[in-house]
Amino acid sequence: MAAGKSGNCKMLEPFKPPPSKRSRKERNRGKLPGSTPASEVMDQEIWKEFPEDLFEAVIARLPIATFFRFRSVCRKWNSLLESQSFSHHCAEIPQANPWFYTITHENMNVGAMYDPSTKKWHHPTISFLPAKMIALPVASVGGLVCFLDIGHRNFYVCNPLTQSFKELPARSVKVWSRVAVGMTLNGNSTDEGYKILWVGCDGEYEVYDSVKNSWSRPGSMPSNIKLPLSLNFRSQAISIDSTLYFMQSDPEGIVSYNMVSGVWKQFIIPAPIHLSDHTLAECEGRIMLVGLLTKNAATCVCIWELQKMTLLWKEVDRMPNIWCLEFYGKHVRMSCLGNKGLFMLSLRSRQMNRLVTYNVMSREWMKVPGCVLPRGRKRQWIACGTAFHPCLTATA
Amino acid sequence: MGSTSTKIKLRTSDQKVFEVEKAVAVQSQTIKYIYENGCPDSVIHVHSVSGDILSKILDYCKKHVNSAAGKEDISPEELYEWDANFVKVDQNTLFDLILAANCLKIESLLDLTCQTVANMIKGKRPEEIRTTFNIKNDYTIEAEEAVRRENKWAFDMLGGVGTMVIEELADDTMSKCVTNTKSRVCVIAANQIVMMRSISKLANKKSIDVYKQPQNPTTPRIKESVKQRNVGTGFIELFFHFKCKM
């Protein structure tokens, strides 16, 4: 089919939506000081003298996807992920918005990652999972995502960006029922290790320590916490400093575990009425709740914040009415895919899957473009996933 | 009696002398070290920085010291804007600022200038990076292909609109496009039909817009005529089989 001549085509720029459709504020979002158009011609005479030791500082400040494109510049740039000094540079940069790692039902081995700052979906191939295994992302911390296979047996930890992964050793307790999972960092980054906790309804729990690469059973549930625990498994756990918080359905409230002291605590917090599909979330140490409020036929997404003094939920924000109208009269399910400062909510009715993000600090609701697998045409249904902080140097 | 602020004298590479408050000068870790470990009274030489650049740097340091100390009523957003304007300089100056910030160890300025450079290069292709910084491509062709494939996900163009550069097109194939202003060019890339928007002066353009999904209603026709060459009806189809290089 080729004609006599063959040509070369090179991609100059990735897809950019037409600028006129975005407000100025949106266009400048994410732009940093000194932002210049990407196509500015750089004078080689000047820049060829750029000192070697400053490259790492510049590269660490590139957008994540750009970093991966530039790995083909030269071998040195390719090997930066293994460089200690590059790690230090990356650690110095303030953390950007989290990305979201989600599972699409069409192909479990191809993750769908959403970058909210460029509003783009990326599809890395997750190569470490055995074929046909379905593993769901259940927790994340410091750039690493913890996967649990559907049979609730094996844990995997992986950095979705670099594919650095580890299969955790088998647990000492055989648990066949659903477990809730939480993950914390020992220090400020994964270099100092991380811990993973799973807890089951019967009060059994174990903690994995990445430094020792083993599971341990630090103790048992205190007697004041009534068993069986009715954990709300649809909600992900949140971690604030070294404490994990899990949502409980009965009694309504939160159960917390401090990884350092090994202490379990229970908080009874009445849930708002007409609430469904609720999940715990957090932002800068504030505990929040995201859920659907359904009254008569109207459904709305609401955000509550926990008042620590009174242990009551106080409503702090709601999804704009216009968006809520889309679901009027329809039966809606919601899952919260990311619960650290920037939440991704997947709202599903019979024929529709609407994805939105909510930024707690700026109180902004934004629509998420549909996820289409490469070489596919259909928009994927997104129901399960977790937020993670994109970190080039996190290793499992 | 109010505290008298200590002043530090700095001499640049071109023999200019600046006298600045200590609080401003010690934003530079290098100057701070020399001041605390050398003779506080004598002049500190900053050999590698010229007068113009040091002057700008001292402006930066003064602004930041004053805003942190509350001497100047400036909000974080305004400081951010001020920083953004500070780095709107020509490339020579920016380059000198980076080197000076590195040498003088002024962390926030180094962060600002490195971020500026990162913004300037983020839209470029790897080849352009190599040219700009005079980096040798030490990959073999196979190795480079392997790295691109490994990191393919970062390149994915969903909804596929982008700009392609057509290189190495033979002259006579190009001229076929140019003659007919309504011509559309159909390209097969990586086994997908990629149709380009009509262009009138293809020969003068280094790049043209590409749509991944052919725009209807011509879709059926394009797909059908993939095996043919000239279709007539104002369409000239050129078929290239090439690897989509990113």
Q: In whole angstroms, give the CA distance from residue A236 to residue A339.
A: 8
Judged by a CB distance cut-off of 8 A, whether residue B95 touches chain A is yes
Q: Do A34 and B147 touch (CB under 8 A)?
A: no
Contact between A123 and B153 under an 8 Å Cβ cutoff? The reply is yes
A275-283, strands of its sheet edge to edge: A312-318, A298-307, A286-295, A275-283, A333-340, A342-348, A353-359, A364-367
Q: Do A72 and B121 touch (CB under 8 A)?
A: no
Cα–Cα distances (Å) from A266 to A220, A226, A233, A390, in that order, read 14, 10, 16, 32
Q: Do B119 and A35 touch (CB under 8 A)?
A: yes
Q: In whole angstroms, give the CA distance from residue A61 to residue A218.
A: 41
Q: How far is A62 from chain B (nearest CA, A)?
A: 5
Judged by a CB distance cut-off of 8 A, whether residue B42 touches chain A is no
Q: Do B245 and A125 touch (CB under 8 A)?
A: no
DSSP states along A319-362:
--HHHHHTTTTS--EEEEEEEESEEEEEEE-SS-EEEEEEETTT
Nearest Cα residue in chain A from B98:
A54
By residue count, chain B amounts to 246
Q: Which of A246, A227, A261 is nearest to A182 (CA)?
A: A246
Judged by a CB distance cut-off of 8 A, whether residue B174 touches chain A is no
Residue A331: what pLDDT?
87
State yes or no: pLDDT of B236 exceeds 80: no
Nearest Cα residue in chain A from B81:
A33
**Which of residues B35 and B181 earns the better pLDDT score?**
B35
State yes or no: pLDDT of B223 exceeds 90: no
Task: Give the domains, in start order, of chain B with CATH numbers.
Answer: 5-121 (3.30.710.10)
Residue B109: what pLDDT?
93
Q: In whole angstroms, give the CA distance from residue A115 to residue A122.
A: 8
What tokens does A256 get? Answer: 């917390």
Q: In whole angstroms, give the CA distance from residue A165 to residue A167.
A: 7
What value does the CA radius of gyration of chain A take, rounded to a whole number of Å? 23
How high does pLDDT run on average in chain B? 67
Residue A191: what pLDDT?
81
Q: In whole angstroms, give the CA distance from residue A60 to residue A96.
A: 12
Residue B187: what pLDDT?
39
Q: Which of B22-26, B80-84, B115-119, B230-234 has the lowest mean pLDDT?
A: B230-234
State yes or no: pLDDT of B229 exceeds 60: no
Residue B38: what pLDDT?
77
Of the candidates B114, B167, B189, the beta carbon closest to that of A57 is on B114
Q: Which of A23-37, A178-192, B45-59, B112-126 has the lowest mean pLDDT?
A: A23-37
Residue A106: what pLDDT?
64
Q: Which of A95-99, B76-80, B138-142 has the lowest mean pLDDT?
A: A95-99
| pLDDT (mean) for B237-243 | 28
Residue B68: what pLDDT?
86
3-state secondary structure of A104: strand
Q: How far is B159 from chain A (nearest CA, A)?
A: 8
Beta bridge pairs of residue B12:
B46
Contact list in A for residue B135 (CB cut-off 8 A) is 73-74
Q: What is the pLDDT along chain A (396 residues), one digit of tens a residue?
A: 333 333 334 334 444 444 444 444 444 444 444 344 445 788 888 898 898 889 999 999 998 888 988 998 999 998 888 888 888 888 888 777 889 998 876 666 667 889 888 888 888 777 777 766 778 888 998 889 998 887 767 899 988 888 888 889 888 777 677 889 999 998 877 888 899 999 988 888 999 999 999 999 888 888 888 888 888 888 889 999 889 999 998 888 999 999 999 999 999 999 888 888 889 998 888 999 999 998 888 889 999 999 989 999 999 999 998 888 888 888 888 888 877 889 999 888 888 888 999 999 889 999 888 887 766 667 778 878 899 988 888 887
Beta bridge pairs of residue B208:
B164
| pLDDT (mean) for B202-230 | 37
State yes or no: pLDDT of B164 exceeds 50: no
Contact between A331 and A317 under an 8 Å Cβ cutoff? The reply is no
Residue B156: what pLDDT?
53
**Binning pLDDT at 50, 70 and 90, where does residue B246 land?**
very low
Q: Do B245 and A43 touch (CB under 8 A)?
A: no
Confidence check on the interface: ipTM exceeds 0.95, yes or no = no
Of the candidates A10, A31, A40, the beta carbon closest to that of B125 is on A10
**Which of residues B19 and B173 earns the better pLDDT score?**
B19
Residue A161: what pLDDT?
87
| pLDDT (mean) for B188-209 | 36
What tokens does A24 get? Answer: 């100025």
What tokens does B89 get? Answer: 């300089």
By residue count, chain A amounts to 396
